Structure 1
Amino acid sequence: MHSFVVRRALADALAFILPVECAGCGAEDVALCAECLGALEPEPHSRVVDGVPVWSGMRFEGVVARVMRTLKEEGRTTLARPLGAGLGAALAALPAGAAFVPVPTSTASMRRRGYRVPELLLRRAGVPVHRALRIARATVDQRALGIDDRRANVERSLVARGVAGRRVIVVDDVVTTGATLGEAVRALRAAGADVVGAATAAATPRRRPSLR
């Protein structure tokens, strides 16, 4: 917690020294210009992963992708609010009365950023966080892996607790192939949860007719 406070204080101090650029287009002297803010307007859409409906608020491309990467890589947490609105739009399409369970963040990512992106977006969307999932084993970076390798990489990497008999919705920042969400669904079901859906702030456009 102490290191997180120090990092946030440093970031706030640097904001007064370094020039601010729009996270979406690089325009100077504005954190997010009007045009890029408009590009973050939610457009909820869905897909199915392992039999579970997955709703996403935006498409992970262009401005949305750049803003999300800036949030994750540069620590500009103010960007979580418009991204959280996208997540909120996705959550609104799913059944009410379920607990919101974020996909857990690795220890290395937490140390590097000082915050958990899915949880931050949930809070900005104005909904409570239920930490029912935890990491059971380490995995490698998914970005360079194909669909089958991603599934093998995350297989049996998560465990869940405290959800027996509960209706839950899995939450992540971005869905690409659905491998991580699928593993989260498996772990929650193994712990006795009724997974009624999943939600993400954004989704990578699909290049195949369907995901499994």
Structure 2
Amino acid sequence: MREALADALALLLPTSCAGCDDPDIALCERCAAALAPQVVRRPGEVPVWSALAFAGVAARVIRALKEDGRTGLARDLACALSAAVAEASASVLASARGDVVLVPVPTSRAAYRRRGYRVVDLVARSAGLRTERLLRTVRASADQRALGAEERRRNVAGVMRSRAAPGVRVIVLDDVVTTGATLAEAVRALRAAGAEVVGAATIAATARRSGAHSGS
């Protein structure tokens, strides 16, 4: 009976590997292995630790989670985010005392309406990470994907606000760091609320271009 039901569901809801399109599997072993974390640190005023390069299999899996509603892939990306957070926390706690709070970058209202979930929060929960939603968006911004670095910074300037957080030491979480515009805005908002932002951790990072800044 179970096999018959599985076959029927496969006909109605065909599944393919998010990384390579192999049929009848959400993520094949080869693509799962490609998501093994290799954390790198992007230096800057606020250093960013990222576990994967945003290319190939990792990029396809993250896009499938973000754009195709394949929420089960959050479990497959959880190890990467957890590894980036572990590296960031170890570095921060080695240089100063005190706990840190993990604060996800907020999802825009339009993106939340479209998806029905918050990508970073979902992956963090799958990783067993405790987060605090200090940040929220206070105005809409344009889609960042077609924008250059300077356009991205202008686009997200002033879009976030943080709850009061005097003296709270924060590591910001995001899915992908690109030019640094989104993370820079998150840092600005948190600092304006009194927080001390000591680093950021992301699932993946794009290759840095000349003149790029750390952040998302």
User: Which residue identity does 1:59 align to in structure 2?
Assistant: A
Match of 2:20 among 16, 25, 31: 25
Cα distance change, pair 119–177 in 1 and its aligned pair in 2 (3 A): same
Q: How many residues align?
A: 199
Cα distance change, pair 184–86 in 1 and its aligned pair in 2 (3 A): same
Tell whether the 8 Å contact from 2:15 to 2:25 is kept in structure 1 after alignment.
Answer: yes
Tell whether the 8 Å contact from 2:20 to 2:31 is kept in structure 1 after alignment.
Answer: yes
Q: Out of 91-100 and 145-154, give the one that drifted further.
A: 91-100
Give the TM-score normalised by structure 1: 0.89
User: What percentage of residue pairs aligned between the two structures are identical?
Assistant: 58
Please tell me whether residue 170 in structure 1 is matched to residue 172 in structure 2.
Answer: yes
Cα distance change, pair 15–69 in 1 and its aligned pair in 2 (3 A): farther
Partners of 1:144 and 1:38 lie apart in 2 by 30
Q: CA deviation at 1:211?
A: 2.2
Q: CA RMSD in A?
A: 1.6
Partner of 2:66: 72
Tell whether the 8 Å contact from 2:179 to 2:212 is kept in structure 1 after alignment.
Answer: no
Larger Rg: 2
Match of 2:76 among 72, 82, 95: 82
Q: After the TM superposition, which residues 36-185 of structure 1 pair with which residues of structure 2 at under 5 Å, given as runs?
A: 36-49=31-44, 51-95=45-89, 96=93, 97-185=99-187
User: Which residue identity does 1:21 align to in structure 2?
Assistant: S
Partners of 2:193 and 2:115 lie apart in 1 by 30
Partner SS, residue 60 of structure 2:
helix
Partners of 2:36 and 2:183 lie apart in 1 by 24
Partner of 1:5: none
Q: CA deviation at 1:73?
A: 1.2
Partners of 2:64 and 2:100 lie apart in 1 by 30
Cα distance change, pair 46–75 in 1 and its aligned pair in 2 (3 A): same
Partner SS, residue 52 of structure 1:
coil
Partner SS, residue 189 of structure 1:
helix
Q: CA deviation at 1:81?
A: 1.1
Partners of 2:15 and 2:148 lie apart in 1 by 36
| Deviation sequence 1:38-88 (CA, Å, 0-9, x none) | 111111001134x00100110100000000000111111111112111011
Q: CA deviation at 1:162?
A: 3.2
Partners of 1:162 and 1:86 lie apart in 2 by 30
Partners of 2:9 and 2:170 lie apart in 1 by 40
- Name structure 2 gaps, 5 residues minimum: 1-7, 94-98
Partner SS, residue 93 of structure 1:
helix
Partners of 1:175 and 1:207 lie apart in 2 by 12
- Name structure 1 gaps, 5 residues minimum: 1-12
